Structure 1
Amino acid sequence: MKRRETLGLDLTPIIDVVFILLIFFIVSSVFKKEELALILDLPSSSAKEMEVDKDQVFIELSSSKLAIKGIEVSFESLEDNLKEIENKRKSVIVRIDKKVEYQRVIKVLDLLQKYDLTNLALITNEDKE
């Protein structure tokens, strides 16, 4: 009488496929950075660093462009975005290029004040002495 051997499942091809899929998803995923849209030359300051929360509103201002939450917008769109913010105590982080006209800065600050968003922080580069 012949003895039958139990058939076992060969796991090597399954493990190979799993590793290939894992490598594919790691390589093809996008890691979210800060919501920055404009390349700005920030002024320097010797003020201390502050913690950045995920729930903050980021506004960027250059001499010709404006962005909020990493999306380039016009001043009218900025006003619409600021109008929709319900939590008036939410931090507003403003990055302003050092070559921006003062009038453009005042225009952004006026919009923030109009919608009672007074928890404001201006971002600068660290002063290297």
Structure 2
Amino acid sequence: MTSEQHTSSFHQTVMTGFIGRKRRLSMGLRMTPMIDVIFLLLTFFVMTAKFQEPEQLLPVIVGKISPQTAVIQDFLLKVFVEPSPSGCLLRIENRPAIKLSDENPQESLLVLARKVQQELETTGPLPVELYYDDAISWDIVVKVYDVLYALGLQNITFRIEE
């Protein structure tokens, strides 16, 4: 009987331990699946990323400059766009001003183009500085720039006078 009691008490103790124990739910995350997911995401982003290619240098051939061209580069062609009560005045340095009329600006811009062309015939292409005031509308400045660019001048610098 002692062996039955012993067996039954052992059996009873073990069985009540399994039955009486409540299943514990942990509040933390299960880390093993999370590590797998993070590794897969990392692998995906690394494989699909497009890395920036290094820029290649453009081939540049530098021509020789003649001494005459080097001297001319010291000169600047200064074009002034100045406000006036009736519109604007266009002036090339050391030349009389051209009145830019609001009704027919193309005519005044044509006169400016002729004067700049005369200046370029004697000196060749020059760097241009375009001076304008805050009171001048941007539309007029762009029209003057377009005229200068159409004449083949590409080195045009904007200078604002406040």
Higher helix share: 2
TM-score (norm 1): 0.49
TM-score (norm 2): 0.40
**Relative contact order higher in (CA < 8 Å, ≥ 6 apart):** 1
The structure that has the greater radius of gyration is 2
